[in-house]
Structure 1
Amino acid sequence: MAELVFFLGTMDCGKSTLALQTSYNYRQRGLRGIIFSMNDRAGTGKLSSRLGLITDAVEVTRETDFWQAVNRLRLAGRVDYLICDEVQFYTRSQVDQLARIVDEIGINVYGFGITTDFLTRLFPGSARMLELADRVERLQVEALCWCGARATHNARTVNGIMVREGEQVVVGDTDNRDVVAYEVLCRKHHMRGMTAESVRAGELSPRTLLEEHE
């Protein structure tokens, strides 16, 4: 039976790499699929991993109707599976459409994404995936905080300093000489707002701070 599967983890834990590997494995078995992505670091219509792997993808917008899109693409040939990267950015109704594709057409849907934003709040798309998925898989490759502990939270930084306000979705960029980026932290240092840059600026020893975990 077809399944809706949600692969989740923090940034830097290999979600996009696994998405690319999953698609490759199915193609090797002669199956045909569609790759969807949204706000990928490589640009519009791409799915890429930090390891340097990249492939073409169908770009998702908030207006994308997966039900209509998949049925239109099926006219051109068989569709056996969908790879959906960055599902945290999808709307709740779009995740509902993915579930409908599984249930009514019988196509496997594999979603990949992070669960919470820089304020530790659930993204709407991820929340809906958790509510509807037949199976939820946490990626086993652990991202690490600058201190060496397991990273569990995503932080937004401006010029290396953690911020706690702003829109939920902001793609990393350089604007007016301010560098907006993201960093994974353990819960303790996320709560304290301690990024790698702030530690360097304060001349604090990562080894000393790591001992606080013990």
Structure 2
Amino acid sequence: MAQFLFFTGPMDCGKSTLALQMDHTHASSGRRGRIFTCHDRSGVARISSRLGLDKQAIEVDTDFDFWAYVVAELTGGKRVDYLICDEAQFYAPDQVDQLARIVDELQLDVFTFGILTDFQTRMFPASQRLVELVDRMETLQVQALCWCGERATHNARTVNGGMVTEGSQVVVGDTVSADEAASGEPAPVVAYEVLCRRHHRRRLSRAVAKATLTPDPLPFSEG
């Protein structure tokens, strides 16, 4: 039976690395698949891992139809055995339904990878739909760590190092718009980091902690 699986965890836990590894493993056994991504950190239609691995992928935009694409490939005489779907939290819920249909009606394996919640700790609509539909959800065993050394469970968005809790749900970090580049003014640096729940609730990012906390002992006089 074909499987519909969802591999999840916070940022920095190796989801994209696992996606690339799974594609390699299946391809090495003679199977033929397609890999997809959406808003990858590289800014292009590729799956990229923070370890430096990357591979060309098909970009999933708002109008992409998984069912129509796979049916066209199969009726065109091409072989498709499985789909690798990275950054699945950015898909539309309807696209998740299309993936479920592919598993059930075409008997193709679909492996999806993504995070559950956004920087406001709210579940992404596509992630919620995946939880509702997949045969099995697996939390990756590689534990991302907060700057304090505790297990990281929450994704945080930072602007110039300070954590923010408002804004669009989807913003790709470390990018500069054309208007900002033309203005000559330094653009705000948007980035992401993972935090434990305690420091996410306190909005204590790595940069803020470094600026406000000190590991040095209090200067008690001796003697």
Matched, 1:119 2:120: yes
Alignment of 1:171-182 (within 5 A): 171-175=172-176, 176=180, 177-182=187-192
**C-alpha distance in structure 2 between counterparts of 1:139 and 1:57, whole Å:** 22
Task: Give 2:109's aligned residue.
Answer: 108
Offset from partner CA, 1:134-169 (integer Å, 9 cap, x none): 010000000000000000000000000000100100
Alignment of 1:1-214 (within 5 A): 1-74=1-74, 75-175=76-176, 176=180, 177-205=187-215
Q: Letter of the aligned partner of 2:40 in structure 1? A: D
Say which SS state the counterpart of residue 178 (structure 1) adopts.
Answer: coil
**C-alpha distance in structure 2 between counterparts of 1:206 and 1:52, whole Å:** 36
Percent identical among aligned pairs is 59
Structure 1: which 5+ runs fail to align?
208-214
Q: Letter of the aligned partner of 2:142 in structure 1? A: V
Structure 1 residue 174 displacement after superposition:
4.3
- On the 8 A contact 1:4/1:108 being kept in 2, the answer is yes
- On the 8 A contact 1:162/1:195 being kept in 2, the answer is yes
Q: Which moved more, 1:6-15 or 1:42-51?
A: 42-51
Q: Letter of the aligned partner of 2:3 in structure 1? A: E
**C-alpha distance in structure 1 between counterparts of 2:140 and 2:101, whole Å:** 25
- On the 8 A contact 1:161/1:197 being kept in 2, the answer is yes
Structure 2: which 5+ runs fail to align?
181-186, 218-223
- On the 8 A contact 1:146/1:206 being kept in 2, the answer is no
- On the 8 A contact 1:199/1:205 being kept in 2, the answer is no
**C-alpha distance in structure 2 between counterparts of 1:174 and 1:70, whole Å:** 32
- On the 8 A contact 1:158/1:180 being kept in 2, the answer is yes
- On the 8 A contact 1:199/1:206 being kept in 2, the answer is no
Structure 1 residue 203 displacement after superposition:
3.3
> TM-score by structure 1 length?
0.94
Q: Letter of the aligned partner of 1:204 in structure 2? A: T
Offset from partner CA, 1:23-75 (integer Å, 9 cap, x none): 00001110000000111122321111000001110111011000001111222
Say which SS state the counterpart of residue 163 (structure 2) adopts.
Answer: strand
Q: 1:148 to 1:94 in 2, by over 3 A?
A: same
**C-alpha distance in structure 1 between counterparts of 2:104 and 2:216, whole Å:** 49
Q: Considering only CA atoms, is the larger Rg found in Structure 1 or Structure 2?
A: 2
Say which SS state the counterpart of residue 193 (structure 2) adopts.
Answer: strand
- On the 8 A contact 1:95/1:129 being kept in 2, the answer is yes
**C-alpha distance in structure 1 between counterparts of 2:38 and 2:77, whole Å:** 23
